Structure 1
Amino acid sequence: MKQVKILMLALVVLMGVGFTSCMNGENDTTVREDAFVKVVSYMGSTWFEDTNGFRYYPTDASLAAMKTQMGFEPVNGGMAYVIYQYDSATQTKTATSTSLKDLQLLYATKLDATVESVQHKPEEGEEPLSNDSIAKAPIRGLEGTISTSYGNITYKPIMFDESTLLLQIDYFMGPEGLLSHYFTLVHYRDESVDENTIKLYLRHNNGKDTSTSYTSVNYLNQYPFVFYKAFNLRKLDGSINENTKIIIEVQENNTNIDLESEQTKTKTYTVQIKAKE
């Protein structure tokens, strides 16, 4: 049986809903799947782990091919989206399996975005510090529903693990702007917040892309890195634990990309840190 999971199905699994799809070709033992993973590099070896701790061991050759063909440079602790295949005649994946080995990588892209811990939050009229990030454009939102052939899928900010925040960001973009957009989560260390709470500000820099013809949702299947952004909260000063509440403040506008527009509104999202299992 040939099993196929496309990017949208990986999103379903990531959001906590199991899904398996089968296609024709009962004599074909090649299994092709995809996954959102963390990169682990140790003693010269690189493998991946998903949110449940399942391990994926790619072949050295396919890992090297991803570097050559796609510029994929795995960084320990970073997050990635991968498509892989293996032969089910030589190994099987069951409910009790903990790993897959000798995987042939077909696609791999990093999802990591920037986290900045800034000493001081500027007052009105005050110059920001050098490592602060200034937004140039709003986003459309961090939660919503995507209509697919498998049904409607609802997405929202989630913790991939106890230290990695995964955002699915809907924003205006054009076909020439795939590499123009940058996102930074800013934490101001001198800002007063409730106990066990971290407030973060999502800054969107759209570069020279001023198009409102398409959105990142339109491109997520072909270019997942434009929609999925992972932020390593370990880069923040101070400790985080399962009692920590994350507040994310964003500027949203579903009509245009003008931060000064009366249609641009401030919105906050709340996420609870995921306890380490």
Structure 2
Amino acid sequence: MKQLKFLMVALTLLMGVSFTSCLDSGNGENAYDGYGYFRTQSYMGTCFFVDLDGNRFYPTPESLSAMTSNGFKAESADLVIVYFKWVDEQSGNGGSSSTATDHNIVLVSVTPIDSYRAISLPSEVGLENFENAPIVTLNPTTNSNFGGNNTLQPFLYGPQMVVLPISWKMEYKAETLAQHTFTLAYVEEAQQDGSELVLYLCHDKGTDEKTDFTNVAFKAFDIKSFMETIKNQTGSYPSKVIIKAKADMDGTTMPDDYTSYEIDSSSLNK
């Protein structure tokens, strides 16, 4: 029988993320049967989740309603972290490894990751319209609830999305958060060969002029069209995805040069 593959959630990814439902079962049984990253989709008014293999996971109406009551908005969600329980034992079994299957689940928690679509620009000149402030880093270090520190890394959700742990400076006010926007751009003139995909992360601080607080948040960007274009041209996905960003560890000075962050994507071709 088919063994479902879940892209497991690193504990560090959950730092600072609020779940829409508590994971503590409180009665001695396992709080969940599985968890992982999924894309949210809807059809004919039905919300469901799809993994990288195309398997579809349909939440029970009651558990979806509970998530909705706790703030989950299926219509605006894209990449999400889902903890779930199988409705029955057969739900966890599939058919052949080449066939996508449907499964019924009870949602335990759903955590959306802010998701956007990467844009395309002909040259670096257009980047100035989307950035007026540096980031701090794409390798922030966070304190773990389990002891020690964790250095976060950008990663790929298959060939579909890139997920970036972005650290930046801002005023210590909740209402200031909306001032800061991030754009990921594919610059046509920056692409040299199909072995690498180069993307530029731009940070616009809006009207926020203060830097008294360091924020860290995960942002996901849909890059599927660029990955597929390279694969169609060369026969394979790029072996590296390079994110370039104006980074300053103090988060106050806009540097002249970009800092590069590399993601190994060679495993996508295996």
TM-score (norm. length: structure 1): 0.67
Corresponding position: 1:269 with 2:269: no
Residue 13 of structure 2 aligns to a residue whose secondary structure is: helix
Aligned to 1:175: 173
Residue 169 of structure 1 aligns to a residue whose secondary structure is: strand
- What are the within-5 Å matches in structure 2 for residues 157-172 of structure 1? 157-172=154-169
Aligned to 1:79: 79
Q: Match for 2:251 among 244, 248, 256?
A: 256
How far apart, CA to CA, are the structure 2 residues paired with 1:259 and 1:213?
A: 16
CA-based RMSD of the aligned residues comes to 4.0
How far apart, CA to CA, are the structure 1 residues paired with 2:191 and 2:85?
A: 51
Residue 63 of structure 1 aligns to a residue whose secondary structure is: helix
Q: Match for 2:121 among 118, 122, 127?
A: 118
How far apart, CA to CA, are the structure 1 residues paired with 2:136 and 2:90?
A: 41
Q: Match for 1:109 among 112, 134, 150?
A: 112
Distance 1:61 1:210, change over 3 A: farther
State the 1:146 CA deviation: 2.2
State the 1:245 CA deviation: 2.4
Aligned to 1:60: 61
C-alpha contact (below 8 Å) 2:230/2:238 kept by paired residues? no
- What are the within-5 Å matches in structure 2 for residues 189-228 of structure 1? 189-217=188-216, 227-228=217-218
Question: Any gaps of 5 or more consecutive residues in structure 2?
Answer: 1-8, 15-22, 95-100
**Range that drifts further, 25-34 or 168-177:** 25-34
Instruction: Give the letter for the 2:220 counterpart.
Output: A
State the 1:182 CA deviation: 1.3
Distance 1:179 1:50, change over 3 A: farther
Distance 1:63 1:239, change over 3 A: farther
Number of equivalenced pairs: 240
Question: Percent same amino acid at aligned positions?
Answer: 24
Question: Any gaps of 5 or more consecutive residues in structure 1?
Answer: 1-6, 13-21, 123-127, 218-226
Aligned to 2:3: none
C-alpha contact (below 8 Å) 1:169/1:228 kept by paired residues? yes
How far apart, CA to CA, are the structure 2 residues paired with 1:70 and 1:55?
A: 23
State the 1:202 CA deviation: 0.4
Residue 172 of structure 1 aligns to a residue whose secondary structure is: strand
State the 1:35 CA deviation: 4.0
Residue 113 of structure 1 aligns to a residue whose secondary structure is: strand
Residue 167 of structure 1 aligns to a residue whose secondary structure is: strand
Distance 1:196 1:256, change over 3 A: closer
How far apart, CA to CA, are the structure 2 residues paired with 1:24 and 1:178?
A: 33
User: After superposition, what is the alpha-carbon deviation per residue over 1:154-193, rounded to whole angstroms, capped at 9, x for unaligned?
Assistant: 3211111122111111111333223222111111223352
Aligned to 2:97: none
How far apart, CA to CA, are the structure 2 residues paired with 1:61 and 1:26?
A: 20
C-alpha contact (below 8 Å) 1:182/1:206 kept by paired residues? yes
Aligned to 2:238: 243
Flag as ranges the 4+ runs of structure 1 deviating above 6 A.
Answer: 92-96
C-alpha contact (below 8 Å) 1:70/1:108 kept by paired residues? no
How far apart, CA to CA, are the structure 2 residues paired with 1:239 and 1:252?
A: 27
Instruction: Give the letter for the 2:58 counterpart.
Output: Y
User: After superposition, what is the alpha-carbon deviation per residue over 1:187-228, rounded to whole angstroms, capped at 9, x for unaligned?
Assistant: 1223352343221110011223333232223xxxxxxxxx11
C-alpha contact (below 8 Å) 1:58/1:102 kept by paired residues? yes
Residue 186 of structure 1 aligns to a residue whose secondary structure is: strand
How far apart, CA to CA, are the structure 2 residues paired with 1:133 and 1:242?
A: 29
User: After superposition, what is the alpha-carbon deviation per residue over 1:6-32, rounded to whole angstroms, capped at 9, x for unaligned?
Assistant: x872738xxxxxxxxx97945456549
How far apart, CA to CA, are the structure 2 residues paired with 1:27 and 1:121?
A: 56
Residue 275 of structure 1 aligns to a residue whose secondary structure is: helix
TM-score (norm. length: structure 2): 0.68
State the 1:91 CA deviation: 5.4
- What are the within-5 Å matches in structure 2 for residues 23-62 of structure 1? 25-27=26-28, 30-31=31-32, 35-42=36-43, 44-50=45-51, 56-62=57-63
Aligned to 1:9: 11
**Range that drifts further, 27-36 or 109-118:** 27-36
